Structure 1
């Protein structure tokens, strides 16, 4: 079984889509309504759907994680996010991998890392 998509509720679809497109390399495939929904796709085919919700609530500790193929790729992902104007602490070793955490618009926590 393969994960088809993930649908995240966010208060500002456009800002969150911008984060994933400019900061994480997703391609925006479609939008619906004025800031109502965006469908994004990663290079590997994974689909991320962003749906407008005024006040989304996620449980403490909720996050989404993306694996990179190497430590160099983690550093490159960090640089891309910084160049796109997003702020994240530098990658560090934790939980057995090189990783960093960044908060996307709307409060979604994103982990980017590599496990050797």
Structure 2
């Protein structure tokens, strides 16, 4: 069995969508106004974003993107940092990894 769908409630669908399209290469699958967007990854995983007024994910909640190697992680870290996101440098944990707070109220882990 393959997990192929995940829904996130976000405070701003448009900015969360643009963040995921711009930095993580997701593709638009469909939209309904400003309150819903369906995004697809390269393997057909569907990530939906739904508008919510209060988003309170648990402290450790996050979604993750596994990149090909440490160089790709470093490149994305630098790009996010250069674009003004508050990211701590990658570190060795359960791989080469860093976390970034995404627009809309959720956290993303990037690792190799």
TM-score by length of 2: 0.88
- The DSSP-based 3-state class of the residue aligned with 1:89 is coil
Q: Deviations over 1:44-67 (max 9, x none)?
A: 222110000111221221111121
Give me the CA root mean square deviation: 1.6
How far apart are residue 90 of structure 1 and its match? Answer: 2.2
1:59-70 paired onto structure 2 within 5 Å: 59-70=58-69
Matched residue, 2:52: 53
Structure 1 alignment gaps of length 5 or more: none
Contact 2:11–2:105 (8 Å) recurs in 1: no
How far apart are residue 85 of structure 1 and its match? Answer: 4.8
1:1-116 paired onto structure 2 within 5 Å: 1-33=1-33, 35-82=34-81, 84-94=83-93, 96-114=94-112
How far apart are residue 84 of structure 1 and its match? Answer: 5.0
- The DSSP-based 3-state class of the residue aligned with 2:2 is coil
- The DSSP-based 3-state class of the residue aligned with 2:85 is coil
Seen in structure 2, the aligned counterparts of structure 1 residues 84 and 3 have a Cα distance that, compared at 3 Å, is farther
Instruction: Count matched residues.
Output: 112
